[in-house]
Amino acid sequence: MVDVAQLVEPRLVMPVVAGSSPVVHPICIAHIEELYCLGYIDEGSSMFKDYNLTNISIPLKVLFTSYLCVVGIGYIMATAQILFTHGMADGKFGLSIDDIVYSYYGNRSGTVLENKLDGSMKENASDADRLAIIKWVHVGADEVSFKQRGINTIFENNCLACHSTEAGMGLPDFSHFETIKNYAQVDTGASFSSLTRVSHIHLFGISFIFFFVGLIFVMATHVSTLLKSLAVSMPFVSQLMDISSWWLTKLDPMFAWVVIIGGTGMGIAFAFMWVVSIYEMWLMPHDDG
């Protein structure tokens, strides 16, 4: 039989009312004991008490490094993707405030079709063809002149290779006049439905990536608790800033700069955690703290 004194002996004691005798909940004791045994809790130490990036086993280092390399490449690809889509929104390479305003608020001086033909779709048609499409948009973009002016053939020859169901690229299908017509309206930027879609994918996906990058990084030995806490929380804060500013920019272009700050903050935190983690695992001498 288990002695009561033995049960009460461990560390967790909860006084219920000040002055009354202390009460210990048996479930708490069992649970806390388990955590002590597993080495998760110990007075004044962290979850990874005896482990840090310099002294973990080689297979674990290889696992962490492989993960970091793949998400690192993913990050570079994501940046390239931003440069090629949003970065080209104003027709010039490189990300600017204009690009962000055009992407989320829209370039309200023109239609989506015109803006794309002057921006990221510029390379897909000759100047003459682009001009013909833009003129057609200006005369009202109706179906009769679509055929009369030969705009249908321009689309067939230059756009359907990517913009059709057969191409399977998930792009708007320009083999239907109605779809083209929708893009010949004033450009109000990203639609609310596309914003909700992209926002939820980013919130789930990016937090997942930063959870693991952060978990690896907190095992670093030569970074202060304050700096560690800042570095692991910064991507989450930046991400919230970034995503909320997409929505705010849709309402008012002045928020475009928050998109840049959010994105930069995330990039800096990622690069810092990545470099420190790799450096400690492979270049620092074994250190048992």
Check binding of 152 to ligand HEC (CB under 6 A): no
Query: Whose Cβ is closer to ligand HEC: residue 136's or residue 217's?
Result: 136
User: How many H-runs (helices) and E-runs (strands) does the chain carry?
Assistant: 12, 2
Q: Among 68, 71, 95, 125, indicate the residue that binds ligand HEC (CB under 6 A).
A: 125
Q: Which two tokens stand for residue 189?
A: 């930027």
Q: Smallest distance from the beta carbon of 158 to ligand HEC, in angstroms?
A: 4
Q: How far apart are CA 202 and CA 275, in angstroms?
A: 23
Which 182-241 positions form the footprint of ligand HEC (CB under 6 A)?
Answer: 183
* Contact map string, positions 61 to 90, toward ligand HEC, x by CB under 6 A: ------------------------x-----
Query: Whose Cβ is closer to ligand HEC: residue 29's or residue 167's?
Result: 167
Q: Among 53, 105, 107, 116, indicate the residue that binds ligand HEC (CB under 6 A).
A: 116
Q: How far apart are CA 70 and CA 198, in angstroms?
A: 22
Query: Whose Cβ is closer to ligand HEC: residue 55's or residue 120's?
Result: 120
Residue 202 to residues 197, 205, 224, 243: CA-CA distances in angstroms?
Answer: 9, 5, 29, 8
Which 155-174 positions form the footprint of ligand HEC (CB under 6 A)?
Answer: 158-159, 161-163, 171-172
Query: Whose Cβ is closer to ligand HEC: residue 184's or residue 273's?
Result: 184
Amino acid in the structure at residue 119: G
Q: Among 113, 137, 256, 278, indicate the residue that binds ligand HEC (CB under 6 A).
A: 113
Q: How far apart are CA 195 and CA 179, in angstroms?
A: 20
Say which residues have a Cβ less than 8 Å from residue 209's Cβ, sequence separation at least 6: 71, 74
Q: Which two tokens stand for residue 85?
A: 């889509």
Q: Smallest distance from the beta carbon of 277 to ligand HEC, in angstroms?
A: 33
Query: Whose Cβ is closer to ligand HEC: residue 85's or residue 229's?
Result: 85
Residue 78 to residues 10, 81, 208, 263: CA-CA distances in angstroms?
Answer: 51, 5, 15, 11
Rg from Cα positions in the chain: 28
Q: Taking contact as CB under 6 A, which single stretch among the options 3-11, 31-39, 58-66, 108-116 is the one that binds ligand HEC?
A: 108-116
Q: Among 120, 164, 238, 249, indicate the residue that binds ligand HEC (CB under 6 A).
A: 120
Size of interface with ligand HEC, in residues (CB under 6 A): 17
Binding residues vs ligand HEC (CB under 6 A): 85, 112-113, 116-117, 120-121, 124-125, 158-159, 161-163, 171-172, 183
